Amino acid sequence: MTIKFRGYLKNNNQLKSVDESRLEKMTIGWIDYLFVFLIILYPLTKSLKLLISKYNGKILNVFLIDILGFIIVILLMIVHEYFHAITFSKKEDIYIWFQGFGMITHCTEIKNVKEYLYTLLLPNLCITLPLSIFVIFVKLSNPLILKMIGLVSSIIILGAINDLATIVYIIRNRKQIEYLQLSGKYMYYKKK
């Protein structure tokens, strides 16, 4: 397995494609996103409440803590994508790209439902879930630290939406799916 950081994804033609003729394109629906939104609503609300908490100090301090928060977010995004990448086997090359305001991991390896669920769940169980639990129960008194935690957790929780919606879609349709595979910018599955 070779994990390669490829820089900024300029267009989707840079992503490796496979023969999609026998595959069905995965279309995640609004019901999947609604279900995920309901799951993340409480920790997201707590995060946003921390982010907008009152601070009477210098505006420069807020600016500096926001910069630190964004650096932490970028580092957590890299770790998140690396967690996705390590779940793939040694058969295929794995590419990690910056895209828009986020990152993507791309590998065309064929995986069954359980393996793909593991790929999608691992970074969210290691990063997003602990951060969400921490935000719910945080009892710190420093308003600057609370603002930074609110910023970081809000972005990370919102960033998990696509992974979680894909998980919901796969679970809802698992009886129809033989295997899953990325091709270009889309995920495909083979019907049973």
Is residue 18 in a domain?
A: no
140 or 14: whose pLDDT is higher?
14
Query: What is the spatial distance between Cα 53 and Cα 150, in angstroms, rounded to a whole number?
Result: 9
Report the percentage of the chain scoring pLDDT > 90. 86
Answer whether residue 44 shows pLDDT above 70.
yes
Is residue 19 in a domain?
A: no
Is residue 179 in a domain?
A: yes
What phi and psi, each to the nearest 5 degrees, are found at residue 188?
-125, 160
Q: What is the pLDDT of residue 129?
A: 96
Q: Is the pTM of this model over 0.95?
A: no
Is residue 150 in a domain?
A: yes
Is residue 44 in a domain?
A: yes
Which residues are within 8 A (CB) of 147 and not within 5 positions of it... i.e. 6 or more apart? 50, 51, 53, 55, 62, 65, 66, 69
Report the percentage of the chain scoring pLDDT > 70. 99
Q: How many domains does the chain have?
A: 1
Q: What is the pLDDT of residue 57?
A: 86
Answer whether residue 35 shows pLDDT above 90.
yes
Tell me the Cα Rg of the chain: 18
Average pLDDT over residues 38-53: 94
Side-chain-side CA neighbours of residue 42 (13 Å)? 7
Structural domain range at position 149: 2-8+24-191
Answer whether residue 89 shows pLDDT above 90.
no
